Chains A and B, each alone.
Chain A
Amino acid sequence: MGTGDPYGMSISHALASGMGGIRTTGDLVARMQLRKKMRLPQAKQYVADKLKVGLDDLADSTVMRGLRQELDIGVITAVPGARKGIEAKRNIAELLDVEVPCLKRL
């Protein structure tokens, strides 16, 4: 991304162009780039197919907030009982059929 103060750089980019992280599916699309070297359209299509949603839903927090809780892959708000951290990543690995390196330690 680049350097700059958090408001001017990180937050501004997140609002202008970012996928939204665990608020939507940004972490999932990122994992396909990191593990499989997928370009963005391919990574988005892969995640959309696995989640059985449309491409336009991937960055839509209204759709993804509920779906993430249903799939138990971690949600943005602090929900008691919902999978956290490495617990959520185990479900993500199964859902996406992708390796998450730290899970090898379990």
Chain B
Amino acid sequence: MSKIRTRMGDGYVTELTLQELRDDLVAGSADAVKRGKVPPLEENEVDWLADLFANPSRIMGVDPGREVVLTKDGSVNTLYSAQLSSGVGLPLSREQCFRVFERAFCFDTMEIGHPDYSYKPVKPIVALEATGVEQALLTAIIPVFYGAMPNFGLYAQPDGPFPNPADLLPRGEVEAAREAQMAMAGACKADMLYVSRIMAEVGADGINFDTTASTGDAEFLAVLETVEELAATTDLAIEVGMAAEFVLGFHGQLEYRGKRLAGMWPHQQVKVVEEAGAHLFGPVVNTNSRRSVPWNVARAVTIVKECSRVATIPIHANVGMGVGGVPMFEVPPADVLTRASAAMVMIGRVDGL
């Protein structure tokens, strides 16, 4: 029997028989069902994925008419920044990079962001950031986002002013760790509001909170409360992109409007993000580098499909390095990247990527 060439979650090539491919697809979906408590893929969806991966073509895509809107977290850093942003170090300004994304890559929207890509370091230089957004707004036609990460870790010692919960918890100082997280949440929220309001004043189309909840439920709460305030007081379109597939209970007791945040999966996350007033939600499903890409893609689309089903706002899934079935590798191979892309649209039924 001929073998199907695909890849593992670390990007390296592997070969599967058709039966092994189907077994991986079913197993990946079953893992999503077990962990995320979501419905499994239908038989015809497994068939579609099997055809997708068994096709020997180098790249694949969605059916004509099924194209989706693209938003880009990480901004234009990928063109001018260094390896920290998978950047290729082009000697271009951010404003020039924005135009490249609009006119050469044909993106539907794009983002201006600081190379550090966190709200806290942006605060003292927000005038520079706002100027970059203004330049893009004058010269570009596509919608202009400003984007950055809440990056909660920057608010704990030694990088920030508050006691570090990761030091307190191993010592059994649970209440002190919770208090520290709430203080960090307050400071993080203040920074996100400060930067976002200035972007609203200069006329940005949207604001992106990328890798939300990277440090768990307190960070998620800070973003939700920020979104709530911005939705009520500005014209900004608000995108909330997650950091991981479920919310860590680093605090453990936090709720948003009566819903416990710790342990939430994408189909639950989107409901509190909607309640807060956001316009776009970016679910994440982590890639397991020791499993095949078909296993990972089947798992990712099973989880995202349920998120898309219950959502009332557009879903822009994260399908980048290490998430959405894409290998954990900074130069993702186009063969599996395009298959993950197509699968997320055709089976995950997202509104964008």
Q: Confirm or deny: B86 has a beta carbon within 8 angstroms of a beta carbon on chain A.
A: yes
Chain B residues near A103: list those with CB within 8 A. 203
Is the beta-carbon distance between B106 and A14 smaller than 8 angstroms? Answer: yes
**CB < 8 Å: which of B62, B69, B73 contacts A2?**
B73
**Chain A residues, CB < 8 A from B353:** 1-2, 13, 17-18
CB < 8 Å neighbour of A9 from B142, B144, B203, B332: B332
Chain A stretch 76-106: residues in CB contact (< 8 A) with chain B: 76, 84-86, 88-89, 92, 99-105
Interchain nearest-CB distance for B324 vs A (Å)? 7
Contact with A along B72-101 (1 / 0, CB 8 A): 111000110000011010000000000001
Task: Indicate which residue in A4, A10, A92 contacts B331 across the interface (CB closer than 8 Å).
Answer: A4
**Count: A-B pairs, CB below 8 Å:** 233
Q: Provided the pairs A10-B78, A21-B107 are in contact, do residues A55 and B65 lie with their beta carbons within 8 angstroms? A: yes
CA distance A13 to B340 in the complex (A): 9
- Say whether, besides A9-B86, A102-B137, A14 and B68 are in contact (CB < 8 Å): no
CB distance from A25 to the nearest CB of B (A): 9
Contact present for B68 and A18 (CB under 8 Å): yes
Chain A CB within 10 Å — which of B69, B137, B321 has the most? B69
CB <8 Å contact, B341 and A13? yes
A59-B64, A86-B137 in contact; A13/B319 too (CB < 8 A)?
A: yes
Among A22, A99, A102, max chain B CB count under 10 A is at: A102
Bound CA span A103–B324, Å: 36
Q: In whole Å, how far is A18's beta carbon from the nearest beta carbon of chain B?
A: 5
Interface size grouping (class) on chain A? 35 or more
> Secondary structure of the B side of the interface?
loop
- Nearest A residue to B321 via CB reads A4
Cα(A9)–Cα(B316), bound, Å: 15
Q: Contact: A1 with B59, CB < 8 Å? A: no
From B68, which residue of chain A is reached at the shortest CB distance?
A17
CA of A89 to CA of B140 in the docked complex: distance in angstroms? Answer: 9
Chain A interface residues toward B at CB < 8 A: 1-24, 26-27, 29-31, 33-35, 37-40, 43, 55-56, 58-59, 73-74, 76, 84-86, 88-89, 92, 99-105
Instruction: Give chain B's interface residues, CB within 8 Å of chain A.
Output: 59-62, 64-74, 78-79, 85-86, 88, 101-103, 105-109, 137-144, 200, 202-206, 235-237, 279-280, 311-314, 316, 318-321, 323-324, 326, 330-334, 337-338, 341-342, 344-345, 350-353
Which 4 A-B residue pairs are closest in the complex by CB-CB distance? A2-B320, A102-B203, A26-B108, A34-B237
